[in-house]
Amino acid sequence: MNADSGSPRWPDSDSATASVVIVSKDEPGLAGTLDRLAEQVDAVPDELLRSVEIIVVDASAGRMQRVRDARPNVRWIDFEQPDGRSTTIAHQRNIGVRAACGDIVVFTDCGCVPDPRWLEEITRPIVRGEEQMTCGQTGATGSSIPYSMERASARSPVYLAECPTINVAFRRDVYDRVGGFDESFTYGSDIDFSWRVVHAGFRIRFVPDARVAHDWGGASRQIRRSYAYGRGRGHLYRKHVFGTGEQSIHKRSLNVHDAVPLAYPLYLLGLPVALRRRSYLLLLAVPLWRSRWQRPFWTLFEHFVLAAGVLAGTVEGTELEGWIDNLRRQLRGRT
C-alpha cells in the first residue's frame, strides 16, 4: 500500500513545481550536467511542471566559481564543511531539500548525462498523483559500469526495495515524513533514506524511461567507490540490524541487494577454514560462473573490496573497532 495514497494530485490547471538538487565538491563533471539540465528546464511542458529550479549545494570553497558565474540561473548554495568531516554528502542533501521551493524534489549527481526527456519522465508519475517517489535507470557514459548497478538495472521490478539518489524524485512530504538524510553516514545515507521511505509505507516506483548516464571512472576510482559503498552498507546494517535507535528497522526483510554485501563478508570471515579444507576455495567458482559474461575476475575482486568495506563499516564506532586499531598499531610496532 502506498502511504497516504489518498493525497491529492495536482489539477491540470495548476501544474506542479520541481527543484533539481545536485551536491558537489570539486566535481569536474558539474558544468556538463548543469548544461544538460538547463536544456530540459526550457523544454519541459508547462502542463506538467510550471516551474523548475536547479540548486547546487557546493562544498568546493569557491573553486568552482567559474562554473557558477557562467550559469546565473542556477541557485548556488555555498556549503561550509564542519570541522572533522571531510565527506558531507548527507548534510548537503538536507541543505538542498530544505532550500528547495518545488513541490517535487529531484536528485541527480555531478557528471550525469540525463536523457533529453529525463526530467519529464522522472516527475510525471508524481505529478499525475500515481506515485510519491520514483527512481530512474542509470547507465554509463562509457563502456564501464559497476557490476552492482548493471545487475540492478537488468532486473529492477516495478517497485524498488531501495535506491540511490543518483536518479530519484519524491514529493516534499515524503522527505518530511521520514526526517531527511541521516548525517551520521559518510556514504550510504541515500540507501538509508530509501529504506526508511519504504518502512514508512511509501512505494518507490521504477521508471525505466527516466535514464541518466554517469562517468564511473577507471579501475582505481571504482575500487575506492566499492570500499566506500561497502562501509556505508556496514553502517546500514549496524544501524538497522544491531541498532536500538528510533529509526532502526529491525524487521526489514532481506532482498536481492543484500546478497553480495552479506555473502562476501561471511566468506572472508570463513577464510581460516581454507587452511584445513582447501575445498572452501572452490566456492568461488559459483560467482565466477554467474558473472562469466561480465569480467568475472574483476567482479570478484570488486566484491571482495566491497566486503572489506562492509566489515569495516559494521564494526565502526564499536569496541571491536578499537581492538582492531590497537592490534594494528602493535603489529606496526613490531615491523
Q: Which domain holds residue 265?
A: 222-334
Question: Which domain CATH number covers 58?
Answer: 3.90.550.10
Region 193-201: mean pLDDT is 93
Tens digits of residue pLDDT in 240-261: 877 655 666 655 666 667 888 8
In a domain, 1, yes or no: no
**Cα–Cα nearest to 52, from 72, 28, 74:** 74
- 196 and 251: one domain? no
CB within 8 A of 236, min separation 6: which ones? Answer: 188, 191, 192, 195, 313
d(CA 169, CA 81): 26
CB within 8 A of 70, min separation 6: which ones? Answer: 31
Amino acid letter, 190 = D
d(CA 53, CA 35): 13
d(CA 322, CA 335): 21
d(CA 23, CA 105): 13
Collapse the DSSP code of 29 into the 3-class scheme (helix H, G, I; strand E, B; otherwise coil) and give the result: coil
pLDDT category at 94 given cuts 50, 70, 90 is very high
How confident is the model at residue 317, as a pLDDT? 67
- 311 and 162: one domain? no
Position 113 pLDDT exceeds 70: yes
Looking at 157, 185, 216, the residue that finishes a domain is 216
pTM of the model: 0.84
Tens digits of residue pLDDT in 72-86: 999 999 998 877 777
Position 237 pLDDT exceeds 90: no
Q: Which range (132-146, 165-179, 203-217, 230-244) has the least confidence?
A: 132-146
pLDDT category at 325 given cuts 50, 70, 90 is low
pLDDT category at 263 given cuts 50, 70, 90 is confident
Amino acid letter, 99 = A
pLDDT category at 1 given cuts 50, 70, 90 is very low
Q: State the number of CA atoms in the 13 A half-sphere of 335 facing the CB.
A: 6
The total number of structural domains in the chain stands at: 2
- What one-character-per-residue DSSP string does 290-328 give? HTTTS-HHHHHHHHHHHHHHHHHHHHTTSHHHHHHHHHH
Amino acid letter, 103 = D
- 65 and 183: one domain? yes
- 175 and 273: one domain? no
Using CA of residue 191, residue 194, residue 199, residue 204, what is the dihedral sign? negative
d(CA 14, CA 204): 24
